[in-house]
Amino acid sequence: MPTTGSASTSDLKAYADRIRACRFCRDLPGPAQLPQEPRPVLRVSTTARLVLAGQAPGTRVNATGIPYNDPSGDRLRAWMNVSRESFYDESRIAIVPMGFCFPGLNAQKADLPPRRECRQLWHDQLFDLMPQVTCIVAIGRYAQDYHFARVGHSLPKGATLADIVSDWKSHARLTPRIIALPHPSWRNNAWITRNPWFEGEVLPLLRTEIAKAMT
């Protein structure tokens, strides 16, 4: 469960520096080893009340070190109704993926799932150091499973993405507020077309909560 209290900027910075220096997966033996040099990506502060929690960096983010620096990021910013400048203001928006490093590609050249080691090693204490957070945008099932469980609202194993995202009314009572989203990839166009309530109900809610958290 989240803790309350305060954390100093120096404590959080020191912890974030440890994450950025992490080489745990690189040093694992055999096929468990991270397939490329680690480049952990995150943006945190003791003032950001909004957290974007996604899956893991892709190839472009791994190359640049800038999260959501791709067409999916453009679409996410449009969903949020925020400028690129505001999006990268880490004093107001923290970006904490479930996997901090690009996990590599599978045989079909698709991104592998986020490494579970990041969550196991880092996430709980990282969020303990950011008690000021009031809203978490959980993008994709990996982030949703972690963040809903952390506030005592574990998701049913059989729940679909549509089940989770559409249940926004019951999520309103959670602290911090959690808003579940699909990944903003264009691959999800068909899902969005099949679920018109997403643009009609969830995006207005998302924009309202983001404006509130960033005020």
| pLDDT value, residue 4 | 43
Is residue 181 in a domain?
Answer: yes
Is residue 2 in a domain?
Answer: no
CATH code of 125's domain: 3.40.470.10
Per-residue DSSP letter, 176: S
Low-confidence spans in the chain with pLDDT less than 50: 1-5
Structurally, the chain folds into a number of domains equal to 1
Is residue 148 in a domain?
Answer: yes
Domain range for 13: 9-214
- Per-residue b/e over 31-47, b at no fewer than 16 CB within 10 Å? eeebeeebbbbbbbbbe
Burial of residue 180 (CB within 10 Å: 0-12, 13-18, 19+) is buried
Is residue 191 in a domain?
Answer: yes
Token pair, residue 194, equals 């099949």
Is residue 99 in a domain?
Answer: yes
| pLDDT value, residue 2 | 45
Is residue 4 in a domain?
Answer: no
Distance CA 132, CA 9 (A): 12
| pLDDT value, residue 123 | 98
Nearest partner of 180 among 95, 69, 54, judged by Cα? 54
CA distance readout (Å), 64 to 58, 69, 71, 85, 175: 10, 8, 14, 17, 33
